Amino acid sequence: MAGRSLRQHLSGAGLKRAALLLLSVAALSACTSVPDGVTPVSPFELDRYLGRWYEIARLDHSFERGLSDVTADYRLQADGSVEVVNRGYDGKKAEWREAVGRAVFLGERDVGSLKVSFFGPFYGGYHIADLDQPGYRWALVTGPDRDYLWILARTPELPAEVRERLVSKASALGFDTSKLIWVEHKPLDVSAPARASAH
């Protein structure tokens, strides 16, 4: 009787662990998934995407809240991953903040769908929903759901017609574009030392 009870207990504990593992895997998968209705661009050429991008607009989220002059630099690493360096200026504290992460493709390298980590094993989706294919001069990027959206460009400003096109595309994809924050880029001392941040 005691042996059977012990086996039942162990079996129950094993099932609980398995269930927790499955839930954890599902949660991590959801963090990198592509939002319904969004198709990442293809063909995509990583080599042309590397380098500096300026954040033109974003939906608000805690790890960039209050930042202006935001840039993202992408550098190819020896292992095929991409180093991601996000940097922005915190006007209230009069200091630069920086976060360094790592991005890898979710699938084929000719599809603009990656996952990015700034916190060890925890990844978030990075999906390029629209891209200036001829010149790689601007991009519309989503996260794993409709709470995350960025408009990026190779320069601190975008022509009005391009901005309107990207906002219309985002709206058609179901994003609340009325909540977009248009990022200010002003002349600052870009040589100022960056402050590491846990974003």
Residue 133 belongs to domain with CATH number: 2.40.128.20
Task: Identify whether 1 is part of a domain.
Answer: no
**What pLDDT is stored for residue 15 in this prediction?**
34
Mean predicted lDDT score pLDDT of the chain: 84
Locate tokens 């593992």: which residue? Answer: 21
With vertex at residue 38, the alpha carbon angle to CA 36 and CA 42, rounded to the nearest 5 degrees, is: 140
Q: What does the alpha-carbon distance between residue 118 and residue 107 come to, in Å, rounded to a whole number?
A: 20
Task: Identify whether 9 is part of a domain.
Answer: no
The whole-model pTM stands at 0.79
Q: What does the pLDDT average to over 176-187?
A: 95
Q: Three-class SS string for the chain?
A: CHHHHHHHHHHHHHHHHHHHHHHHHHHHHHHHCCCCCCCCCCCCCHHHHCEEEEEEEEECCHHHCCEEEEEEEEEECCCCCEEEEEEEEECCCCEEEEEEEEEEECCCCCCCEEEEEEECCEEEEEEEEEECCCCCCEEEEECCCCCCEEEEECCCCCCHHHHHHHHHHHHHCCCCHHHEEECCCCCCCCCCCEEECCC
Task: Identify whether 26 is part of a domain.
Answer: no
Residues sharing a CB contact under 8 Å with residue 99, sequence separation 6 or more, in sequence order = 63, 85, 86, 87, 118, 196, 197, 198, 199
Per-residue pLDDT for 13 more than 60? no
Q: What is the extent of the structural domain holding 153? A: 46-182
Over the stretch 58-84, which tens digit does the pLDDT of each residue have?
Answer: 999 998 999 999 999 999 999 999 999
How many structural domains compose the chain? 1
Task: Identify whether 73 is part of a domain.
Answer: yes
Task: Identify whether 28 is part of a domain.
Answer: no
Task: Identify whether 85 is part of a domain.
Answer: yes
Task: Identify whether 14 is part of a domain.
Answer: no
Task: Identify whether 74 is part of a domain.
Answer: yes
